[in-house]
Structure 1
Amino acid sequence: MNETLILILGQTPAAPVIWAFHSEGRVRLANLAENVADLASIASRANAARQVVAILPGECVTMRVIPAPPKTQRQFRAASHYLMEDELAESISNVHMVAVRHESGAGMAFAIKHSVLETWREALAESGVFPDVMTVDFALLPSTLERAVLVDFPDRLLGSAGLQGFAVEKPVADMIAASILSDESIKEIVLYGERAFDGGDWESFTLDWRDPLTDEAIIALYAGALDARPAPNFLQGEYRKKRDWSAAAGPWRRTAALAAACVAGLVFVSVADSVRTLRFAESLENETLLLHQAAFPDAASADPRTHARTVLASSGGGAALFLPISTYIAETLEEVGDVQIDRVRYNAERNEYSVNLRVANVEQLDAFKRILATRGVTATESGSVRRSGGYYLGELRMSLT
């Protein structure tokens, strides 16, 4: 399916999860899961989606802006690790980092504890959902120099000030808002919420005060950001998603099962047909033996084929004509090809051998006669060759030269 599944995660795997299948600019299906485990109910559709994006709460991610990052990606990552150590209260070895470049040229480094990332991945995997992208909520807000975006939720504040993103619980949110209002680089503020924050000179800013974001509105905001630009993805390096071939093959399992059933059916039909053929051949063999025993009671125990050859060989000149000409005709049929025999007649008393042939064209009939002549058989046409449908019909009388 050409859908993106967006998962807005709570503070822990036990918290509710907002999920939405989004495609072509609109939500196809959305709901609220009681927790991460409850996502198992949509796992089948999730595995068929074009992309699954899990959005982490910003409180578990640390971010730092690097105004003038090194040009090479390797040096950029090394600088990000070095500078991020100043922001962290623990060893850099305990965190997983991702470094990306902003369209302005600045660098942005994001860090999350290994233990936190692994907890989320394991919880989602247990529900049968495997994200392609795992990012952070504040990275999906518009980030523009000289502008701040604040989203006021009942229990937390989500925002970006210039390129710096953040998420804090209340009442710390009032302190963060006050620091933004004192930042001389910020000229414009976009505020989603019902109240202005305490402190600061709001009148000195261009204020775009909007309604609080509903679940539908926050899904639309994040979906628009995902469509507009690549989000920083924590599933890199050791956490890079491995291709889940069993999930990817899901839509084809029914087709494969049907194909296997067809193959099995063909094998069964072939075996059954072979068994029927063998039984029919055995039946003919038995009937031939009964006819032989009835016609030749003195040689009832002899093999019918061997006895027939013996009788023909002892019958004089007729047999001398019948056997070799029959052999030469069979060999000539293989050489000419596309020649059919409708009838073979042999009169032992008159020593006459004639064959009615069906050929695609007259040239084949002439070729048939020429090849027989090289084998010492004279073939003459008996009557005229006539057209019948897509074939020519002719009769040849044969004799050994």
Structure 2
Amino acid sequence: MPVSGGGTKRHVLHEPVDYPRHPAPFTSRTVLAAAHVVADARADYQPGHAPPVDWEATIAFRKHLFSYGIGIAEGMDTTERGPGGLQWPQAKELIRLGVAAAREAGAACVAGAGTDQLTSVNPSLAEIVEAYLEQLEFVQAQGSAAVIRASHALVGAAKTEDDYLSVYRDVLAKADKPAIVHWLGTGFDPTLAGYWGHTDVRAAMDVVVRMAQENAEHLDGIKFSLLDEELEKEFRRRLPAGVKVFTGDDYGYTGLLLGDGEHHSHGLLGVLDPIAPIASAGFAALDAGDEAGFAETMNRSIPMAVKMFEPPADRYKVGTVFVAWLSGHQDHFRMVTGREGMRSLQHLSDLFVLTDELGLFPDPELAAHRMRLLLAAGGIE
């Protein structure tokens, strides 16, 4: 394996850990993975056009998550949805298939509703609401609750915090099931700077709290993706009773999920995609009242998560596809957007070692074979 700074070292793979299956949803916390999509690597594809998807492998991976009690948040950022990735017609098919698979498995499921079908350059607020409602209606028609995704169109069109409050009020009023609103920070998407009408995060928090207070009857919770543990704790304390926080903190999720005895977060995390087996063991312990066992189990996964989500954090999607390939869930290391080269060979090598240390490769020989192929392609024989 390559070593940072030069040279190589030998790595001996661990035996896989037989993490118990847990096909029923967990009871102590809502647990949802923002799951990745498997590209169809054999199909002809031109960047800028709708990328081909291997639907069979994509849904098979969701069934893998369900077998460990992990539900899905379908059609979220981990699916590479947006410019250069999944377009709305494909996202619709993904949501349709994913929700149906979750329903068949008795698994928890929500699905993302956004505004990414808009084609006008400068849409009005009314057009943005209409786009949100089109997607919300589709998600609800599949029998799923919605995650109201952050809108790039809205951050361009809104002039004040009242514009955000008005749009979310109009959209949430049409939710026939309590929805989750996604507060996505600039650590994951710098183009969302100024969302909620403010670049100052606490001023933005004031707006989100007000939005939650005004729409509490239509809200299941807020997905908090700002990668700031203390800020998330403060946010939890300020929300109306009954409005959950779904942590998006892929660095400090153990303590946030465990809580402080008065408040705790639920899980809606991209990292649950690759760590489903070990996370399942942790949540099973929490369901049984074993908080120490939960903390010990989840903390073992933190070094791998920190590596996968190291800045720029949005490139974590490379890691989810990489680990799925090494684990045998798909037969190639290609992303829907073709951006698998956005992480260095050293980063991927470090991630390989950290994943192996958790015993997460079901077939270590397969993982070693595929890693050797990747290293050879990178000039390391």
TM-score (structure 1 length as normaliser): 0.21
> Counting strand residues as a fraction of each chain, which structure ranks higher?
1
> Counting helix residues as a fraction of each chain, which structure ranks higher?
2
Q: Which has the higher contact order (CA 8 A, sep 6+)?
A: 2
